Structure 1
Amino acid sequence: MLNGNEWHQLHGEFLGNSQHLMTRADECLSHLELISDDKDAIECLLGTLQQIAGKADAASVKTVAGFARQLRYLLYFASAAGRLQPKALVSLRECLSLLSWQIELVDPVTGLLPLDDHEQQELLEQFGCCCGIGKVESSHPTPVEWPVALTVVHP
């Protein structure tokens, strides 16, 4: 964890880089909404999510890093299976909106994001299910650790 002075120095750079990357992610997603199987747009989005995770790791914003990494993981498998249907793209947009919102809420003094990850987990699970790559196996409600074991759903 960075101390207040270290974080303050990184905050402007992290926020600026992350906002730029979120704009790029939004452009990639807009392109996917027009052409859902565009490999270049998918690769761009995968790379952008990886960069966001890396920038967040470097700035010690673990919640953002983990969310970006988990979203990338699901997107990778969904795109490999050719399962980015319109409903999945809507869910992906919701995930990116939450990610953007979380970046904005990172405390500029401490670098902390004082939120639980419940909404992240719900959106990730929803995205995975919309992609048809599986559903989370659970016999009782417990916090979901990603990546999780997925049950493959065959069409």
Structure 2
Amino acid sequence: MLNGHEWQQLHAAFLSNSQTLMCRADECLSHLELISDDRDAMECLLSTLQHLAREAHTHGIATVCGFARQLHDLLDSATAARQLPPKALPALKRCFVLMSWQLELIDPRSGSLTLDESEERDLLNAFACQCGLGARKENRGITPSWQVNPEQCDVPLT
């Protein structure tokens, strides 16, 4: 088992790279706020989330890995129409704010991050609803699925 100093030395690159990836995601999101159908910006967001999920998995940060993967899957479904609804962008921004906050809370000595995932779930549901994908179904520990039924959205759309 690594002590805190060893974890920080081995994973310092993750802490730095994750911040770089979040800055890239923010830039892509800002671009989408200006040009909502920019396919390059959408692809950049998808690849950034995929990269962040891989990095978090490699470094044992399960919370960030799971959140990034779920957000990637939702964004991928939402962008199938080549354009995110403008009302979905603030919900996506809130997801990125939470993810950045999570990255800040990773203990640099141990790499641990224990959080209640209810805020993630609420933000993902809000984003799904804004994209017209409906609310997330719980599948007893299985990767979440998304239903296409906006009437079942129980998250405020503001």
TM-score relative to the length of structure 1: 0.87
Which residues of 2 match residues 90-129 of structure 1 at below 5 A? 90-129=90-129
Supply the distance in 1 between the matched residues of 2:111 and 2:134 (Cα, whole angstroms): 34
CA apart distance, 1:101: 0.6
Supply the distance in 2 between the matched residues of 1:115 and 1:107 (Cα, whole angstroms): 12
Query: The residue matched to 2:36 in structure 1 has which SS?
Result: coil
Change (3 A) 1:153 1:83: farther
Long gaps (5+) in structure 1: none
CA apart distance, 1:83: 5.2
Which residues of 2 match residues 6-155 of structure 1 at below 5 A? 6-82=6-82, 84-137=84-137, 146-153=143-150
Supply the distance in 2 between the matched residues of 1:127 and 1:146 (Cα, whole angstroms): 17
CA RMSD of aligned residues (A): 2.2
CA apart distance, 1:99: 0.4
Check whether the contact 1:10–1:59 (CA below 8 A) recurs between aligned residues.
no
> Amino acid of the residue matched to residue 121 of structure 1?
R
CA apart distance, 1:84: 1.2
Check whether the contact 1:136–1:151 (CA below 8 A) recurs between aligned residues.
no
Long gaps (5+) in structure 2: 152-158
Supply the distance in 1 between the matched residues of 2:95 and 2:38 (Cα, whole angstroms): 20
Supply the distance in 1 between the matched residues of 2:128 and 2:8 (Cα, whole angstroms): 36
Match of 1:3 in 2: 2
Larger mean CA deviation between 75-84 and 112-121 belongs to: 75-84
CA apart distance, 1:153: 4.7
CA apart distance, 1:88: 0.4
